[in-house]
Structure formats: C-alpha cells, structure tokens
Amino acid sequence: MNNSPINNALSTATSSSQATSNVVEKPQEISNISLNSFPKNTLVGKIINALAPVLDRILGINKLNAIYFKKKLLGLDKQAFCQKLLKGLGVKVLDGDKVVEKIPKSGKCIVVCNHPYGFVEGVIIAQLLSAYRSDTKIMANIALKTIKEVNDYFIFANPLKPNATINAVAIKHCYQHVENEGLLVIFPAGRVSFYQNDHKIISDGHWNRLAVKIAEKTQAPILPIFISGTNSTFFHRLGRLYYRFRLLMLAHEMFKLQGHEITLSTKNLITAKTLSVFEGIETKNTFARLQCYLNDTEYFTPWPQDEIPKQASTVKLPVAEETDYEIVKSELSQLPAKHSLVKYKHYTVYYGYQSQVPNCVKEITRLRELTFRDLDEGSGLPYDTDKFDATYMHLFIFDNQNEKITGAYRIGQTDLLQKQGSVENLYLTQMFAFGKNFINQQQPCLEMGRSFIIASEQKSFHSLLLLWKGIGAFVCQNPRYRTLYGTVSLSKLYDPRSVAIMEKVMVNKPEGVIAKNVFSGQLHPEVDHFIKQNTLGLDALSAMVVSIEQDSKDIPILLKQYHKLGANFHSMAIDSNFNQTPGLLLSVHLPSAPEKLLKLYLGDKKGDYLAFKS
C-alpha cells in the first residue's frame, strides 16, 4: 500500500473509529490529492502511479496536500472548504460584491470567465456565486473530481479528450441545468491562459462555443467576468517551449499567490436580444469573449480630472438666472418673416444672429450651460459662450405656449465666415487642422455645433425632429449649402472604452483633417483586432456600448441621426474649450441622404433643393 499522508490519515481515522465503537462505520471520505489517484487501467496510469511520490514533490502537489491537512480541510462542506483553501493559499479577492449584484437572484443565467491561473479562479467563482445562489453549477475539468469536498459544485468534462463520453453527458447536464432556471458557470477556454503570438499578450486560447449555444437555445443571459492577473513569467516561458509544461507547473504556481489580490470585474448581462445583433455563432462567441476582456483595467485610461475654469476660482459658478422672456418675445417679433422656419402645434423654429436677437442668444447660452452640465460638460461659468456666438447663426425652437426656448443649434456658414478672414474663423479649427482638400475649404458648408435640447424635452422625439426640419427649411432658402459638418460630442459620462470603440468603428474618412488634441483611449488588443478585422454596423456598435456602460446607455441619438443621413466620420479630437470633451467629426452631403429623410426634413421644397445648380 502507498504510504502517502492521505492514506495514513485514512487508516488512522478508520482505526480510531473502530476503537471507539462496536458499530462498523464508513470512514470519512477524504480527497486524494496525489498523482496516485490517477486511474491505473492504462500503461500511462500505472507509470504515473509508480512515480507519484517523486512527481508529487517535483510538481508541488505535496504542498497542496499539506495545506489540505494543516488547514483541516478534510470533510468540510464546500463553502467552508473554499474559504479555508483560499486563506491557506493567501489569496485576497476584490470586488466580488460588484459582480454578484449583476447576477439575477433567480432564473436562467450563464457566467463565462477567462482562465488566468488554472485552478484558483474556479475555487473563487464557486465560493462566491454559490454563496449567492445555491443552484450554481460549474463546468470543470474531471481532474478536480479527486477533491471530494467540492464535487457538488461541478459538472465534470474532459477537455483533453473532446470525444469522450463524459463530455456529451456534461453538455446535456449543462443544458438541463439552465433550462431548469439554474446558474451555470463555464470557463470557455478549458485550459489556462498562455502567451498569444498574434496579439503579443497573455490571454485565453480559443473559447468553446457551448455557453453561447446554450444561451441561444434557452434564451438565457450571459454575464462575462474578467479575473485579473496571470501566472508567473517563468510559467509562460516554459509554456512557450512546450505547452504541456504549463499543466505540470500549475500546482507550483498556486503557491506564488501569497498576499496576491485577484480582482473580479464585470459590466452588464448580455441578453439574447443583444446576441441576435451578431451573425453566426462564432461572432457571437467572440463578442462574449471581448466583453470579458474589456474589463481588463490594464487597458483602461480613465478620463482626466475636469479642468476648473480660471474665472471660477475653485468651483463651478451657478448657472445664470433666466432671461426675461418678454424681451425675448419682443426680439422674435422683430425678426424678418423668413427667419420663422417651421411651425408645429405651439412650437416655432427660428434662426437669427446675435446682432438681431442678443437676449435670445443670451438665454440660449444659459440653457446650453444648464444642459451640458448634466452631461459632465459645460464651461463651469454662468453662460456657455465664446466669441463664435457673435458670428455664427443660431437656429432654435420656441415654445409659444410655455414661453421658453427648448433647443438649439449653433451653425457657421463657412463661406461667409471665411470671407471675413481665414479658416481660423471656424470654431472647429480649435480642435482640428483642416487641409485645403477638406470640404469646408472647397464649398459653402454649414458647420453644426453646440446643439442641445432641454432636459424636460429630451424624451420627446419632436424636439430633434423640429430642429432638423428647421435645418431643412434653412437649406431650402439657401440651397448653396449642400454639406453639413460638425462634431458629435461624446460625453465623459461614457466609459472611455465606449468612446474608443465608437472612434474605431465609425471613423472611415480621415483624409484632409488632423486632430490637434488627440483622444488617447485604450482598447484591449483583442478588441482592437476584432474591430479591424470586421465591418461592424451601427447595431453591433450599439450592442458593444450598451454592454459596457454601467447604466446600459446607448450611443448618442445624434450620432444615430447623422449615420442615417449617410454621414462620413473623419476624426476624433478632444475639445479643450469644452471641458476636455471628445468630439467625433463628421460630414453629411445632404443631397445624397436617403429619400425618405429628405422628404421628412425638406418637405415640398425637396425637388427645388435637389435641382439647384451652383
């Protein structure tokens, strides 16, 4: 008989039981953490068993065996076993509570995780999720079957033999567990992370598609969880020499975790509806994987601290008091008739210049500041204003019933502005260096900017529609303007990774313009590679952003609006004059916009506008 500590302990426990009782009791089942537990029914098994004492010592398995007894893990219930084992290994887990709060308290759910260490992450996830939901099951390597105390956590499979009978049984069990409203955890890589030559990083190998297949069949949501860290440099160097060395080193690696902090990170559940945006099971699987790796903080650059305006000392100044609307109405009544562009119910869309309607513009700048502050933008001053308010045209909605301005655009007529001086008379030259071949140097354009809709009107579609009908009416009056261009401001309420993804996906025409203050958002190399290799539509972009944002917010509605019009997206830059807010530069050739939208915005003047020849 092998005289391992486990077998000695088993013998002692059995003898003690027999000495104290006349009843023959079944000895307590104890885990055999040794290679002598390897099945002996093959030649390889017999060799491994014979060499077990030596291999256990070389591979560090005897150390794990020692913890098993020293920390009194034998026979513990699974929760206590995991807690004591992690404590014995010296591992501290961070932010587990933030992960748990994203998981439904009941019902179907699938959790997918990366596999950075090989064993300890399974213990962490098992202990954490089972404490929250008792119906948690984890698909695991059959090698863990030797640890009896935690067997109840697992659905066992054999990743080294894909066609093994146990795998078919395990897959069926996984499907049934989710169908029965259970919580299922899968480590889709099936093996420990290793160095990836393609991306020059350490990450998982290919993810098995089982989780996504089950999610599609059962309509269960998926929660990707990123587990921080990795094994040692030595481990990965050996693995690059021969991949099986990684398996041999796993036990040794566990004992390098003393005092180690492992952070768990996640964002949002991926619903079946979100997955349906992507075509093909492989793309859906890749999407789930990318949502996991997007949580890697090593590839995350937070927004810089907001700059305090020089004029505001140490805090933002209060927004100015409302302008006297009797004066505003008086100014509106004196505008030429053609400046009244659109009427709808009790709303009127006007345009005017500061020289014509100074108090209207004053109120617009007050409302801009009020609205932008809600988006973590704005100047920090009582009014959001600059020298360009005096030279640009202001197109705005007036609510005649409630006597207030509800939204506006600031629009620069590039031909008029550049006649008065150089290209520097255009606001966006503060963000971009325009080449001579850029459209604003080639033809009359409208530079669109500083758009807003007040908070109380933002849930109503008619406000944005009225602004665009107003723009349509203005270009019909002035048909020389065939192109609109400007930026969509991407609020810093967005995660920087969302903004980086929007830039990577949307920018398609970078010629003729250079950002002066470049946006430097980072993306995980796998995410960057995926976007470069795939043409993603707006729905796919939306799915990626919604899955990242903690409040599940979508891409800006204005970005969607411009995209529908057939916009080209040129560049991303930081607006240093607008609280360091990133802006995505785009242009729209209006005559090329979809027929349906032209009819909506231009109305019965559409034919005349399209027929205009400069």
The answer to whether residues 56 and 251 touch, using CB atoms and an 8 Å cutoff, is no
Which of 1-15, 30-44, 159-173, 340-354 is predicted with the least confidence, judged by mean pLDDT? Answer: 1-15
What is the structure's pLDDT at 145? Answer: 74
Q: Round to whole Å and give the CA distance between 524 and 296.
A: 7
Residue 434's SS3 state is strand
When mean pLDDT is compared across 13-27, 118-132, 325-339, 503-517, the lowest value belongs to: 13-27
Q: What pLDDT, on a 0 to 100 scale, did the predictor assign at position 245?
A: 58
Q: Which is nearest to 502 in space by CA: 452, 434, 571?
A: 571
Q: Average model confidence (pLDDT) for the chain?
A: 86
Q: pLDDT for 67-97, tens place per residue?
A: 666 666 677 778 888 888 888 888 999 999 9
pLDDT at position 65, please? Answer: 61
Residue 143 binned pLDDT confidence (cut-offs 50, 70, 90): confident
| CA-closest candidate to residue 583, choices 568, 603, 601, 569 | 569
Weakest-pLDDT range from 49-58, 301-310, 317-326: 49-58
The mean per-residue pLDDT over the stretch 19-28 comes to 40
pLDDT digits (tens, 9 = 90+) for 456-499: 998 888 899 999 999 999 999 999 999 999 999 998 889 999 99
> Encoding tokens for residue 566?
């057939």
Check pLDDT > 50 for residue 226.
yes
d(CA 580, CA 490): 10
Q: What are φ and ψ of residue 455, in 5° steps?
A: -55, -45
| Structure confidence by residue, pLDDT tens digits, 347-375 | 999 999 999 999 999 999 999 999 999 88
Q: Which helix H or strand E contains 272, and what residues bound it?
A: helix 272-275
Average pLDDT over residues 222-251: 79
Q: 3-class SS at 556?
A: coil
Residue 63 has a pLDDT of 60
CA distance 492 to 304: 10
Instruction: Tell me, rounded to whole angstroms, the distance of Cα 412 from its chain centroid.
Output: 35
Dihedral sign for Cα atoms in the order 470, 474, 480, 486: negative
Q: What is the pLDDT of residues 535-548, one digit of tens each?
A: 899 999 999 999 99
Asked whether residue 36 carries a pLDDT value surpassing 60, the answer given is: no
Provide CB contacts within 8 A for 613, sequence distance 6+: none
Residue 18 is predicted with a pLDDT of 39
Q: With 60 as the cut, is the pLDDT of residue 9 above it?
A: no
Tell me what percent of the residues of the chain surpass a pLDDT of 90. 64
